[in-house]
A and B are shown apart, each in its own frame.
Chain A
Amino acid sequence: MAMTKAGLAQELCDQLGVNKREAKELVELYFDTVREVLAEGESVKISGFGNFNIREKTPRPGRNPKTGEEIPISARRVVTFKPGQKLKHRIESYAGAVEQ
């Protein structure tokens, strides 16, 4: 089962001793704040975890893969995530089931 905001809130209850409502507030506050900063066009660098960056994409020609019809893709701003050293190393060593 995927970890969700509820799972993170539970972890805060257990480890921080805050009540359910406060735990939920803290989780929301964290992601809302990161999102707000990104929406302002600023990157967020969290040491140990990774960097959320903003990239400006130029317009390019695209295609509807179903009909083959050409559709222009307009210029846009997107978020990219680059994992930090710690996260990268922890994940690389994961030797679990490989999905093909």
Chain B
Amino acid sequence: MVRSELIEKMVETMPGLAPRDIELAVKIIQEHMIDNLADGGRIEVRGFGSFSLNYRKPKIARNPRTGESVPLAGRHVVHFKPGKELREMVDHPSTD
């Protein structure tokens, strides 16, 4: 399911909310989450999961095609840890 379909589903679930507000809200939520992580922050959504940054040390990698050495600087990557409720709903879909 892609973002536009997700928004449609949200509009159907909450007919009392303006579709335009829902669409903008999704945009704002995502932008804000990205900004927060890009500032080194952490996001915790109860029942859904948490997003945090993990550090990857600098290393010398290789181009597998040419065998050439490529130095990689230390960098951060995003890590998502599903929350308990999400884990359970996905693993036992019939018992939610």
Contacts and interface: CB of A to CB of B under 8 A. Distances in A.
Interface of A: 2-5, 8, 11-12, 15-16, 18, 22-23, 25-27, 29-31, 33-50, 52, 54, 76-81, 83, 86-88, 90-94, 96-99
A18 B45 contact: no
Contacts of B86: 35, 38, 79
A41 B13 contact: no
Nearest to A39: B89
Contacts of B21: 16, 18, 22, 26
Interface of B: 1-3, 6, 9-10, 13-14, 17, 21-22, 24-26, 28-30, 32-34, 36-51, 53, 55, 74-78, 80, 82, 85-87, 89-91, 93, 96
Contacts of B33: 3, 8, 49
